[in-house]
Structure 1
Amino acid sequence: MTSVVAELWALRDGIRLCIALKLPVVEIELDAKVVIDLVRKESKNLNNLDALVVDCKEGLKKILNVRLLHCFREANKCAYNLARRGTLLDQDFTVFIHPPSEVDLLIRLDALSTLYDQFVTSFKAF
């Protein structure tokens, strides 16, 4: 599986979760600009990516107000922390009712517009 395919699967699953939760306003940040371009542009013959791209596009239409933005990986420490955590999980998809403590701290720091080092939290295996 390529990183583009992995990003598309994650985007599709995230969109489906937003629809299931009936979220009317969603802002999606991806560090994979190529994925954003695939979803935004009218493309055909995407080398077996067609179905995933179409699923993402159709899902986005079901959300009342959605923004799809590029964000450099280094700027999204919450996603980076969750991705590292995900590499240790046995299941393919996990929904957290409450964010893990490390991510909760990062969310609070982001809400306060606090600048902090990428390695501000220590990551513990669980």
Structure 2
Amino acid sequence: MGNPGMDGGGGLIRNESGEWVKGYARAIDYATSVVVELWVLKDGIQLCISLKVPALVVELDAKLVVDLLKKDVENLNGISVLVANCRERLKEIPLVCIQHCYREANKCTDVLVRRGATLKQDFTIFMHPPFDVAFLLNLDFAGSCYFCDVASGLEVS
């Protein structure tokens, strides 16, 4: 919805079998895509800590954020506090892996992100997947594939 611009964010937590545990969405008034990614990551980390998750694989479609979390970078033009907070909170989870994935690999999260942009309240936790997310989860379990032409950004399903 613009970068910077009015936006929302969201994510989901799955168990080791890929099944829904919880989801969340956040309305964010005006921010860059990097700030939104970090805020939503912070929300997800907090939720995982509250669930006492012993091992976590974080998949982000923002390669820049993955790099910021993995590298020791100083002076990040105002996002240093968010990056530092995410790094510190991740230390509370015994085993963590952070990796990049293409947006097409996580359509469930994309739906929750769009939902975040339309929220009336600031933050929502979903105990059960919304219908549209449940549908995509079922497609995941059925083994549906989505292909992406990385060079042009075109998607084929």
TM over 0.5: yes
Higher strand share: 2
Q: Look up the match of 2:53.
A: 23
Q: Look up the match of 1:71.
A: 101
* Greater RCO (Cα-Cα under 8 Å, separation 6 or more): 2
Q: Look up the match of 1:80.
A: 110
**What is the Cα-based RMSD across aligned positions, in Å?**
1.8
* Aligned-residue identity in percent: 53
Cα deviation 1:86-124 (Å, max 9, x = unaligned): 221112221100010111121122123222698x9xxxx
Q: Name the CA distance, whole Å, in 1 between partners of 2:140 and 2:79.
A: 34
Q: Look up the match of 1:123.
A: none
Q: Look up the match of 1:39.
A: 69
Q: Name the CA distance, whole Å, in 2 between partners of 1:45 and 1:66.
A: 25
Of 119, 122, 129 in structure 2, the residue corresponding to residue 92 of structure 1 is 122
How many residue pairs match? The answer is 119
Q: TM-score, normalised by structure 1?
A: 0.86
Q: Name the CA distance, whole Å, in 2 between partners of 1:45 and 1:93.
A: 29
Higher helix share: 1
Consecutive unaligned residues of structure 1, counting only runs of 5 or more, are 121-126
SS at match of 2:58: strand
